[in-house]
Amino acid sequence: MASLQIDYHSDLKEVQSDEALARLLSDAQQHAPFDRLAWWQGLVEHCGILPVLAVAKSADGVAILPLCGHRGQLSALANWYTFRFRPILSGEAPLQALARDLARRTHRVTLHGLPEEDGSMSTLTRAFKAAGWLVRREVCDTNRVLPVMERSFEDYLAGRPGKLRTTLKRKSGKVTTRVFSRFDAEAWKQYEAIYSESWKPEEGSPAFLRTFAEAEGTAGRLRLALAHAADAPEGPAIAAQMWTVEGGTAFIHKLAHREAAKPLSPGSVLTAALMRHVIEIDRVDLVDFGTGDDAYKQDWMETQRPRYRLDMFRPFDARNWASLAGIGLRSLAASAKRG
């Protein structure tokens, strides 16, 4: 491949100083937070992840594979905040070259959270197989989404399960809601207080999430919402949610409510308010509820999409033999069970 250049960046400031790469990974070019340099910088700064940003450039285009790890194994530069992971490509040929070069640096690459609706999983599979890697694929998660299909909010609501519609009818008058399109420090303080009292596990990195919310607020993409009891509108908020909107998609990042307020169903009322906002005001085409197949997500969403895990092995590297043997034994056991 003519004029091929491959680089591995453990310091993301190097990428930021490369005008072409910084432009490709900017807000103007990438319309989901997980595809941008700022997202990866946040993971590195606040979540303790060691980056290995693999980049191949040639006359055929650019391939960027955001990786992390050490000791011969590399994985996706992602964590629990990341809805999905994919390579950033302006051409498939450089990705194949990158897969070949990675064989000199590592014996195993594991990527999880891969979508297929845009062909990312298949593209990576082809590139690594062509470079001589053994590729193992499996479904690792579920992504629940709502295609709006130009419906009004009322038309969408009419299609929700009867139990949810009854809850909203009974509880909406007992809860007031407010949606912020810019970062508000006091609203964020209330979100953090609610989260600390909710059923949710301990927040992985509050500093990462706040930095992200502040940046999205500055860009006008943040939708931070609070709910109050209607009979105590000046009191502490009882539910909070953080969404972002861009590129025709609303991403639902975080939601929580105070357990003591559960009889008011403030989370459901607040979700309905945000749904109305993104459908009627932002006029999105899609609402993305992230990963996880929780039952409550099925009440709001209408479609599910698989997320894939790809395990790529150098087949003749002795460091992989124990893992490959274990995979083979599990496969035989599964076949025997099916038989």
Q: State whether residue 148 is helix, strand or coil.
A: coil
> How far apart are alpha carbons 324 and 319 in whole angstroms?
10
Q: Nearest 5°: phi and psi at 115?
A: -85, 160
Question: Please, which pLDDT band fits residue 273 given cuts at 50, 70 and 90?
Answer: very high
> How far apart are alpha carbons 151 and 169 in whole angstroms?
20
How confident is the model at residue 302, as a pLDDT? Answer: 97
3-state SS, one letter per residue, for 48-112:
CCCEEEEEEEECCEEEEEEEEEECCEEEECCCCCCCCCCCEECCCHHHHHHHHHHCCCCCEEEEE
Tell me the sheet residues that pair with 51: 68
Give the CATH fold of the 5-142+305-338 domain. Aminopeptidase (3.40.630)
How confident is the model at residue 324, as a pLDDT? Answer: 74
* Mean pLDDT along residues 174-186: 97
Dihedral sign computed on CA atoms, order 198, 199, 205, 211: negative
Question: Please, which pLDDT band fits residue 204 given cuts at 50, 70 and 90?
Answer: confident
CATH entry 3.30.365.10 includes domain 149-284: no
Question: Please, which pLDDT band fits residue 334 given cuts at 50, 70 and 90?
Answer: low
What is the number of other CB atoms lying within 10 angstroms of the CB of residue 227? 27
Q: Which of 183, 114, 124, 146 is CA-nearest to residue 271?
A: 146
Q: Which of 222, 209, 241, 216 is CA-nearest to residue 282?
A: 222
* Mean pLDDT along residues 177-198: 94
Q: Are 215 and 270 in contact (CB under 8 A)?
A: no
- Say whether pTM exceeds 0.75: yes
Conformation bin of residue 150: beta by default, left when phi > 0, alpha when psi is -120 to 50: left
Q: Where are the domains of the chain?
A: 5-142+305-338, 149-284
* Distance spanning both ends of the chain, measured CA to CA: 47
